[in-house]
Structures are given as C-alpha cells and as structure tokens.
Chains A and B, each alone.
Chain A
Amino acid sequence: MKAKIHITLKSGVLDPQGKAIEGALHNMGFRGVKEVRQGKYIELDLAESDATKAKEAAQKMCEGLLANTVVERFKVEVE
C-alpha cells in the first residue's frame, strides 16, 4: 500500500517561510494571495496490504518521527 502524508504547521504557529513565499508571490503581482502556509508531503511504499493496518503504522511513524506534534499536524491517506 502507499501512504500519502501531509504535514502542516498547526494554526497559531508562526510560519516565516510561508510568509517569505507570500511576499515573493505579492512581488510577482499575485496580489490576491491572502496567506501562505508551507508544509511537507511524504510518500511511503508499505509492504502491508491491509489498509487499516497500513494507516495505523503510518500514523505511528508520524507521531514518532515524521511530524513533531508540538507544532505540526499530519494527515495520512492510504491507497
């Protein structure tokens, strides 16, 4: 199974990189950009064929290493 993981900063956590991207987009003329929040996307190829077990395993990996839950939240999709 493939696990697709999105990791994003929790709301309220300052995202200076997102702010810098936002500034650059404004400089390019994209005036309609109200806010940019930057995150990470991680894809895992798992030997597990059971979707529930695969998702559980990926969630454990997120909690243990892939995300830092002090400031980040994650979303796991398996297919």
Chain B
Amino acid sequence: MKSAVIVFPGSNCDRDAKTVLAATGLNPVMVWHQDSSLPKVDLVIVPGGFSYGDYLRSGAMAAHSPIMREVKAHAARGAYVLGICNGFQILTEAGMLPGILLRNAKLKFICKEVLLRVENTTTAFTRRYKAGQVINVPIAHHDGNYFADSDTLKKLDDNAQVAFRYCDADGAPTAAANPNGSQNNIAGIFNEQKNVLGMMPHPERHAESLLGGTDGKALFEGLLAA
C-alpha cells in the first residue's frame, strides 16, 4: 500500500505524518501542492500546519491549490483521504467534507491532550478501534470549532458520519470535555462514502510511546489492512 503527503507552504506536520506512514508500512511520498498530478497511491494525507499563514480563513487558499483537483478526483474514485487539523480545514474549504472549522469558542490556541470517543468502527480508518473506545490524542489548533447547520448535523448523525467526539474519561461527550465549542462535540467526520476523514486531533503525534502515547497508531494500521 502506498500513500502521499501533500505539502503546502506552511505545513508543519507533514514530516510527522511521513514518519508514521513509513513506520506503518504505508510507503509515503511527499507531493508539493503546486504539482498537478498525484502519483498512484491508495491514501492521501492532507497534513496539519498553517497553510498560507491561515490568511482569509484557515485552509481557504490551500483548498484551491492545483493538487487539490487531483485529491478530489482520488476521493471520487473511492480512494482514501485523511485530513488532519489544517488538513481537515482544507477538506471542508474544498467542499470535500461538510461544515466549517471556526475560531475556538474561547479564542485561545489550544495545545493539549484530549479524550475522544470512537463513534463508528466500521470504516477503514477506525476498524482497529472498539466501538465507544475512549482514546487519548493531542490537539493543537486555533480554529477547531466545528460548525454546520442543523440539517447537516442531522445528516452526519443519520449516516454515522461522525468519527470522533470530544468526551470525558467515561466516554460522555460533555460540555466540559469540549475544548473548542464544536457542535455536538464533533472532533472528526467522514464523508458519506466513509473514504474521506477529517479530524482536528493529531493521531500522527500519538503513534510512538516515546512521544507520549500510541492511541493514534491504530488509525494508520487500519488503513494498512484496507
């Protein structure tokens, strides 16, 4: 299985992603955002960072980079796309996932470990987790406050498109466990077909015990088995 990590000006989690992909056997190649063709891969990672300095809106400019046409075509073929943090913002701005990530409700940049409840374990991304499992994964963002209109939120629930919710140690998605004001404690969502995942937390930062946790590793292992 092969993967590609898209590199935008301002990406800063691209090499973390590459390291995890290589360690998992997902054979990553790095692809510059101005490239207009994507090598033949099974998985595309749109990594975290601050593409274009978050000018205008986080992810707005990167969503129109030449490579994104290829990433859309890749997803339309049913192949896998994972957007992490700024990557999630880029996927919403590109129209590949519904909703938008607004400024955190308390206006602060938040960098800490959070707990997530795994909501749907029938996808390639989440198959290695148990239903309702609580995992520890770090967040590091200023704009992670997920917003969508009520019809969209209902659709996300009806189609089991919510991947992860911020929760407490018992797995309850409480207001106190919601770090950024996201509607319904949403931390990550799938597209309808479940081959595109966007999430604010960073699974690639918790894939080695040396870095403080390994709960993110199963996500990449699930993709390897896909």
> Which residues of A are at the interface with B, using a C-beta cutoff of 8 A?
13-14, 16-17, 20, 64-66, 68, 70-71
Residues of B within 8 A of A71 (CB): 100, 102, 147
- Is B181 a contact partner of A17 (Cβ separation < 8 A)? no
The docked-state distance in angstroms from the alpha carbon of A16 to that of B105 is: 6
Residues of B within 8 A of A68 (CB): 57, 60, 93, 100
Measured CB to CB, the closest approach of chain A to B51, in angstroms, equals 14
Measured CB to CB, the closest approach of chain A to B186, in angstroms, equals 14
- Is A70 a contact partner of B149 (Cβ separation < 8 A)? yes
B67-115 contacts to A, CB under 8 A, are 92-93, 98-100, 102-107
Residues of A within 8 A of B98 (CB): 70
Measured CB to CB, the closest approach of chain A to B151, in angstroms, equals 12
Residues of A within 8 A of B107 (CB): 16-17, 20
The docked-state distance in angstroms from the alpha carbon of A44 to that of B93 is: 22
- Is A14 a contact partner of B102 (Cβ separation < 8 A)? yes
User: Which residue among A64, A65, A68 has the maximum number of chain B CB atoms within 10 Å of its CB?
Assistant: A68
Residues of A within 8 A of B60 (CB): 65, 68
The docked-state distance in angstroms from the alpha carbon of A71 to that of B58 is: 14
Of the residues A16, A64, A70, contact of B103 by C-beta under 8 Å? A16
Measured CB to CB, the closest approach of chain B to A41, in angstroms, equals 13
- Is A17 a contact partner of B103 (Cβ separation < 8 A)? yes
Question: B15 on the interface (CB 8 Å rule)?
Answer: no
User: Can you list 14 residue pairs at the A/B interface with Cβ under 8 Å?
Assistant: A13-B102, A13-B147, A14-B102, A16-B107, A16-B181, A20-B107, A64-B64, A65-B60, A65-B64, A70-B92, A70-B98, A70-B99, A70-B100, A70-B149
- Is B148 a contact partner of A70 (Cβ separation < 8 A)? yes
- Is A14 a contact partner of B56 (Cβ separation < 8 A)? no
Measured CB to CB, the closest approach of chain B to A72, in angstroms, equals 9
Measured CB to CB, the closest approach of chain A to B154, in angstroms, equals 15
User: Which residue among B64, B98, B148, B149 has the maximum number of chain A CB atoms within 10 Å of its CB?
Assistant: B149
B101-152 contacts to A, CB under 8 A, are 102-107, 145, 147-149
The docked-state distance in angstroms from the alpha carbon of A76 to that of B221 is: 49
The docked-state distance in angstroms from the alpha carbon of A71 to that of B99 is: 9
- Is B93 a contact partner of A14 (Cβ separation < 8 A)? no
- Is B99 a contact partner of A16 (Cβ separation < 8 A)? no
Considering the complex of A and B, which 5 residue pairs feature the smallest CB-CB distances, nearest first? A70-B100, A16-B107, A16-B105, A68-B100, A71-B100
Q: In this complex, what residue of A is CB-closest to B148?
A: A70
- Is B100 a contact partner of A16 (Cβ separation < 8 A)? no
Residues of B within 8 A of A64 (CB): 64
Residues of B within 8 A of A66 (CB): 56
- Is B148 a contact partner of A16 (Cβ separation < 8 A)? no
Residues of A within 8 A of B181 (CB): 14, 16
A70-B147, A70-B148, A71-B147 given; A65·B56 CB < 8 A: yes
